[in-house]
A and B are shown apart, each in its own frame.
Chain A
Amino acid sequence: MSDTLARVEHAAVSLLVSLGVALIGVPLLLTLYLSVFDEKLILFPPHAYTLDWYPAIGATFGDPIWTSLQLGAAAVIGSLTLGIPAGIGLSRHRFRGRGLVSTLLLAPITVPGIALGLAIYIMLVAIDETAGTALTGSLTGLVLAHILITTPWVVRLCLASLATHDRTAEEAAASLGAHPLKVIWRVTLPAMRPGIIAGALFAFVISFENLELALFLTSPGVTTLPVAVLQYLEYHIDPLVAAVAVAQTLGIAVLLLLLDRFVRLGRIVR
């Protein structure tokens, strides 16, 4: 009886896993398939296949990709600079207003991107009008907005990596003569390493793929890849966009694999 039950359970799990894999895999495979059609319009079945779309990415999307990479790097640096100290502070101290700080730090995750983008746009315009700055449509404005949405992830992951951290190691370091900042550098940060690496990765991916904020905050001179793709799609329906998607997916996948290897290696070395 229980044997039958176990078999049914096993079959059900296998089915669900296959469904899940299909759900993720089929669109990816279709995109990959589309990206090699030798057609100006997407026709099925294609009369021939080609890899020419891939070298063509650079000509159309080179500038936006460069902007997105710079933006992603800036967002990573900014969110780590804010998020790591915030994570250490929130995990160490139970101070008045801690709940408020932690809610504020995590809030951007819960606000819809479009609403956030509009709000930031209005705010930047207001700042520009009062202070005479030119933040609206500049890369600086975009970087600040991206730091806003990536910091919560860094804080979250730093807090998670500190949850199992034994603070007596910090006391041991202090008793051995380490100044409080030395303690953070030599003991706390090494313990947070997996969280920091994962946080940096999340920050980069979120920034690189973000469309909603960029829709409001880019200008003709400064366009990110997702916005450029959207604009391109308004006038062309050809396999180039599929090629961009495949290239982007591959790029991020390689990054993930490398980092995963790095963090795991780190765990072994530790």
Chain B
Amino acid sequence: MTTSPDAAALTLDRLVRRFASHTAVDEVSLSVTPGELVVLLGPSGCGKTTTLRLIAGFIAPDAGDIRLDGQSIVALPPHKRDMGIVFQSYALFPHLSVARNIAFGLEMRHTTAAATQARVDEMLRLVRLEAFATRLPRQLSGGQQQRVALARALAIHPRALLLDEPLSNLDAALRQDMAREIRLLQQARGITTIMVTHDQTEAMALADRLVLMHDGKVQQIGPPEALHLHPANPFVARFIGGANIVPGRIDTATHLLLPDGAPISLAAAYPGTGAATLAVRPDSIRLGEPGRAGARAAGTVELCTWLGATVEHVVRLTPETTLLARGPGLGPDAAPRHKAGTPVTLHWSAEDEFLFDASGRPIAAATTDFTRSRETNDA
């Protein structure tokens, strides 16, 4: 990856922003290295867009600092921050042609006409819209408008690029193309980039590092696979990969008792006892016939849904607890389908099992029970 000379290191230092009594951004800290693409991910209302608007300078934080290459920019108005921004609605200037839209930031910088023209041509080539220079925004398709917005943001040699849900207004097929295009452009130009999205797949596909947010707080920061392999709390496990979340209490080292007393046999042994939450992803759960060895729990199939590539079973363990299991729906490895009412056993291995204590922190397994694990794999 090349790093652009314009690209800056961006640091958020315990940013806080309140709206009335609601804290939208709560002590958010983050360090982005030059040329890195960081995705702020989370459900709507988690504070990711507010964080982006704080970085852009559209709103001011109640506390905390924002630094570019070590210099605080928190007191600067948006027009002095040198940030390229691509908005969800693109926010192109409707009365200006594509070329004039791209030239806007350069005109504000009093760039000479010749230099502006050269840069506009370069940007048009970059986003492959040379033939559309004189068109007006509303004469373009959504994907083309998106590319103009990107070109306009990049034209000013921004120190950082901010993308606010840039793909959400595109249809599914175009979204993947555009995601790839953004990633290639960003890597080729080596621009420090922060992107906001609620779409997990999009985030996984684009991010060097993910910042998962919830209730204004950072839940976990790391490369996508780290969040997948080592979720920091039940929310992360639930959001990344849609894990089943089962509250209960650890009784002995290898048993989790559900609230109504039914036990789940854990794949690993855990220190201590007390309230705990189990997270297991649907993709990790295999179903077996009653009596099969190494069962983690037993239940009854409540619903079987075949989705083509996958097959999903909702299994009821107790009156209050159901788990979702997902297996391949096609091919030689296809998971067997079970009719509603069929009694089944549930199997998973130690590395797919996440246990969290009462405050949501992960509990490390004391010793992995390899015997049990192997049994499950055999099953």
Contacts and interface: CB of A to CB of B under 8 A. Distances in A.
Contacts of A171: 56, 58, 78, 85, 87, 91
7 contacts: A171-B58, A173-B104, A175-B81, A177-B105, A178-B79, A180-B77, A270-B95
Nearest to A179: B79
Nearest to A171: B58
Interface in B268-316: none
Interface string A102-131: 000000000000000000000000000000
Given A175-B79, A179-B79, A166 B89 contact: yes
B224 interface: no
Nearest to B136: A270
A210 B152 CA distance: 49
A175 B58 CA distance: 9
Given A175-B56, A176-B156, A168 B108 contact: no
A172 B84 CA distance: 9
Contacts of B156: 176-177
Interface of B: 56-58, 77-85, 87, 89, 91-95, 104-105, 108-109, 136, 152-153, 156
Contacts of A180: 77, 79
Interface residues of A, number: 21
Interface in A169-195: 169, 171-180, 182, 186-187, 190-191, 193
Contact of A168 (B78, B87, B153): B87
B316 to A, nearest CB: 47
Contact of A175 (B84, B89, B92, B136): B84
Per CB-CB distance, the 8 closest pairs between chain A and chain B, nearest first, are: A176-B105, A177-B108, A168-B91, A172-B91, A174-B78, A175-B85, A270-B95, A190-B95
Given A168-B89, A171-B56, A172-B87, A191 B79 contact: no
Nearest to A172: B91
A270 B94 CA distance: 6
A173 B85 contact: no
A179 B80 CA distance: 9
Nearest to A169: B91
Contacts, number: 70
Contacts of B83: 175
B56 A178 contact: no
Contacts of B104: 173, 176, 178, 186
B79 A177 contact: yes
Given A168-B91, A172-B91, A182-B108, 6 more contacts: A169-B93, A175-B85, A177-B105, A178-B104, A190-B95, A270-B95
Given A166-B89, A176-B104, A176-B156, A191 B94 contact: yes
Nearest to B87: A168
A179 B109 CA distance: 11
B85 A172 contact: yes
Contacts of A178: 79, 104, 108
Nearest to A187: B93
Given A175-B81, A175-B84, A176-B156, A169 B92 contact: yes
A175 B78 contact: yes
A141 B227 CA distance: 73
Counting chain B CB atoms within 10 Å of each CB, the highest count among A176, A180, A269 belongs to A176
A61 B93 CA distance: 48
A266 to B, nearest CB: 9
Interface string A188-229: 001101000000000000000000000000000000000000
Interface in A228-270: 269-270
B77 A174 contact: yes
B51 to A, nearest CB: 15
B158 to A, nearest CB: 9
Nearest to B102: A176
Contacts of A168: 87, 89, 91
A198 to B, nearest CB: 17
Contacts of B153: 175-176
Contacts of B56: 171, 175
A173 B89 CA distance: 14
